[in-house]
């Protein structure tokens, strides 16, 4: 017995004398976000080759996996199910075949996904079907099933690579109810991001004890309160205020970002946002040094990588060629003829054939007295000649329904006051800008970052004659002269007003902050809703008419014209260049 004790003692001394085991683990984290249906390197709307696409991302992944192999972690941050006809076709037209988005993501080897607001906008039937077909979890820590109080989706995913434990916590902007009709997300609620992050960070730390924590948040970095209660774009706030994240991968705001911030405990957090359309990806290198299996140090560096530099994956294109052909056939169908070119460009400076065509349709199919709508695309054009299904995605970007709401004349005026306040600069001299621009544009967000506010909230009206005095302050800009037929406009009268479902649910706050209608009261103002999206009715309208001659209605104008006409010319050139008229 004494002999064995001596042997054990000698063995113990030998083990203790061994040097501590040290090793290095290198990980690659790749994030896509706001792909918006851009799966192929071809834009089915403009019928042109496309800079982004999952096909290009796959080529990038093939190259990186040669080095990192299984240590490459691929994440998507939402808004992948809406934007291109490819997504629309498999959302609503071919609902029998496997969803092409799920098939592509499975093929590419995604490790986790996240929900975006435009994924929710497709409706529960669509997004639940897509989630069910994905071979990886789609996360949503703050998407709660109201009947059980539990999360509708997995809150987080734990991955293990080369002995390193990685936790990915997914969240969505909670402002969904401010934009989308409840029938699209029936039975769900969307909790505050910061509160949710605190709750799950505690659980993740205690239960999982991870070596690396990634926040995958479909929300931007410029926090603002929507409808007085939904904290939109809280990603940066969470990164700074909730300790524990090594990196926060953002989305939603379509603006490129790659920087480091310091949280409340003095730790550094990497913040990355690849903007939209898979033109760039978030490309993060993580180097961990371990000693006896425990992480001693972490080095985290991120860049934004251009996918165009890697070409197009032939393997991807061959694999999904049948689906490409099906979508191409769908969008190529002729539905009518336009006698004139129409563009969203003039719509920022006055009445335009593009916007007034939508106004005309909204009034005609709803029977409303007045119509509100905005340019949903920053720079869209439909050329005269044959019109195809593809053009409908240029004409109307989103799958919004059409509502008719009861609004008083005063609420209509106040709604427009809010819209033009968001839209126009208050001119103090003839040399000032007509439009309200940001001082600095953010790279990767040219479609929305030129303006101080989002242009999809620049609603004009049809059915009334009015003027907008850009020298006046908010509340005094809009003067309604009459109804379009010349009859008086009465501030105390109730009118039937056509709006899209985004606006009717409080999107842009024109009805809440502008018209002063409480968010909870909006539902009671809706007297009619279509059961299909506006694009469907636009297609039917054009098919029925055959040949159309879209013209501006010219029912409103900016004044004083001595200032606004020259300013409009200058601002047009500022936005689109001198040679792009």
pLDDT in tens, 346-378: 999 999 999 999 999 999 989 999 999 999 988
In 3D space, the residue among 372, 326, 292 whose CA is nearest the CA of residue 555 turns out to be 372
For the residues 76-88, what does the mean pLDDT come to? 96
Q: pLDDT category, 222, cuts 50, 70, 90?
A: confident
What is the pTM assigned to this prediction? 0.88
Q: Which pLDDT belongs to residue 13?
A: 42
pLDDT of 449 higher than 80: no
Q: Which pLDDT belongs to residue 228?
A: 74
Q: Which pLDDT belongs to residue 442?
A: 54
**CA-to-CA separations, 527 to 120, 370, 473, 530, in angstroms, rounded:** 24, 14, 33, 11
Q: pLDDT category, 288, cuts 50, 70, 90?
A: very high
Q: Which pLDDT belongs to residue 475?
A: 95
β strands within 397-436, DSSP E = 402-408
Q: Do 20-328 and 334-576 agree at the fold level?
A: no
In 3D space, the residue among 339, 336, 457 whose CA is nearest the CA of residue 389 turns out to be 336
Top CATH class of 20-328 equals: alpha beta
Q: Which pLDDT belongs to residue 323?
A: 98
- Compute the mean pLDDT over every residue in the chain, rounded to the nearest whole number: 93
For the residues 405-434, what does the mean pLDDT come to? 98
For the residues 537-561, what does the mean pLDDT come to? 95
Q: Which pLDDT belongs to residue 17?
A: 40
pLDDT of 20 higher than 90: no
List the domain boundaries for the chain: 20-328, 334-576
Looking at per-residue pLDDT, the higher value among 118 and 229 belongs to: 118
Looking at per-residue pLDDT, the higher value among 230 and 104 belongs to: 104
For the residues 84-97, what does the mean pLDDT come to? 96
> What percent of the residues of the chain are helix, what percent strand, and what percent coil, each to the nearest 5?
35, 30, 35
**Domain 334-576 CATH (choose: 3.40.50.1110, 3.40.50.880, 1.20.1440.130, 3.90.780.10):** 3.90.780.10
* Other residues' Cβ atoms within 10 Å of the Cβ of residue 28: 19
For the residues 305-331, what does the mean pLDDT come to? 97
**CA-to-CA separations, 333 to 82, 188, 328, 354, 388, in angstroms, rounded:** 20, 38, 9, 21, 5
User: Per residue in 502-525, pLDDT tens?
Assistant: 999 999 999 999 999 999 999 999
Inter-residue contact 270 to 246 (CB < 8 Å): yes
Tell me the Cα Rg of the chain. 27
For the residues 296-321, what does the mean pLDDT come to? 97
User: What residues pair up with 336 in beta bridges, in sequence order?
Assistant: 387
d(CA 416, CA 437): 19
pLDDT of 531 higher than 90: no
For the residues 557-562, what does the mean pLDDT come to? 98
Q: pLDDT category, 398, cuts 50, 70, 90?
A: confident
pLDDT of 68 higher than 80: yes
């Amino acid at each position: 017995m004494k002999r064995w004790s001596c042997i054990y003692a000698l063995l113990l001394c030998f083990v203790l004398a061994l040097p501590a085991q040290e090793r290095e683990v290198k990980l690659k984290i790749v994030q896509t976000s706001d792909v918006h249906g851009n799966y192929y390197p071809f834009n089915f709307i403009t019928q042109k080759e496309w800079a982004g696409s999952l096909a290009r991302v796959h080529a990038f992944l093939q190259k990186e996996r040669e080095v990192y192999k299984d240590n490459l972690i691929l994440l998507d941050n939402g808004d992948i199910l809406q934007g291109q006809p490819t997504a629309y076709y498999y959302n609503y037209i071919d609902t029998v075949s496997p969803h092409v988005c799920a098939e592509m993501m499975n093929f590419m080897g995604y490790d986790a996904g996240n929900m975006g607001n435009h994924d929710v906008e497709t409706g529960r039937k669509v997004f639940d079907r897509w989630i069910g077909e994905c071979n990886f979890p789609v996360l949503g820590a703050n998407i709660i099933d109201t009947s059980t109080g539990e999360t509708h989706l997995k809150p987080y995913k734990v991955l293990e690579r080369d002995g390193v434990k990685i936790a990915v916590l997914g969240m969505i902007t909670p402002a969904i109810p401010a934009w989308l009709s409840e029938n699209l997300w029936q039975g769900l609620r969307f909790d505050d991001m910061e509160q949710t992050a605190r709750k799950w960070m505690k659980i993740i730390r205690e239960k999982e004890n991870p070596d690396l924590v990634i926040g995958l948040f479909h929300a931007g970095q410029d926090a603002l309160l929507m409808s007085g209660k939904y904290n939109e774009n809280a990603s940066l706030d969470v990164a700074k205020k909730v300790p524990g994240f090594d990196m926060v991968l953002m989305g939603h705001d379509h603006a490129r970002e790659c920087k480091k911030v310091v949280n409340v405990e003095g730790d550094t957090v990497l913040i990355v946002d690849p903007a939209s359309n898979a033109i760039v990806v978030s490309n993060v290198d993580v180097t961990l040094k371990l000693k006896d299996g425990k992480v001693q140090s972490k080095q985290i560096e991120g860049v934004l990588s251009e996918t165009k530099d890697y070409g197009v994956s032939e393997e991807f294109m061959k694999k999904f060629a049948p689906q490409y052909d099906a979508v191409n056939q769908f969008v190529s169908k002729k539905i009518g003829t336009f006698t004139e070119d129409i563009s969203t460009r003039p719509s920022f400076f006055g009445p335009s054939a593009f916007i007034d065509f939508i106004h005309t349709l909204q009034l005609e199919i709803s029977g409303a007295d007045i119509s509100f709508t905005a340019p949903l695309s920053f720079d869209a054009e439909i050329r005269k000649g044959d019109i195809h299904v593809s053009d409908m995605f240029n004409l109307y970007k989103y799958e919004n329904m059409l509502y008719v709401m009861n609004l008083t004349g005063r609420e209509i005026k106040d709604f427009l006051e809010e819209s033009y306040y968001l839209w126009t600069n208050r001119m103090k001299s003839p040399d000032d800008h007509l439009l309200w621009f940001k001082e600095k544009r953010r790279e990767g967000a040219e479609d929305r970052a030129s303006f101080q506010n989002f242009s999809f909230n620049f609603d004009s009206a049809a059915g009334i004659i009015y003027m907008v005095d850009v020298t006046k302050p908010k509340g005094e800009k809009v003067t309604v002269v009459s109804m379009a037929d010349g009859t008086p406009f009465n501030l105390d009268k109730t009118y039937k007003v056509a709006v899209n479902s985004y606006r009717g649910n409080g999107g842009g706050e024109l009805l809440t902050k502008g018209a002063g209608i409480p968010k909870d009261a909006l539902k009671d103002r809706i007297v009619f809703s279509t059961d299909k999206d506006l694009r469907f009715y636009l297609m039917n309208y054009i098919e029925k008419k055959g040949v159309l001659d879209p013209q501006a209605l010219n029912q409103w104008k900016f004044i004083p014209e001595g200032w606004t006409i020259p300013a409009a010319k200058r601002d047009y050139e500022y936005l689109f260049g001198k040679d792009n008229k």
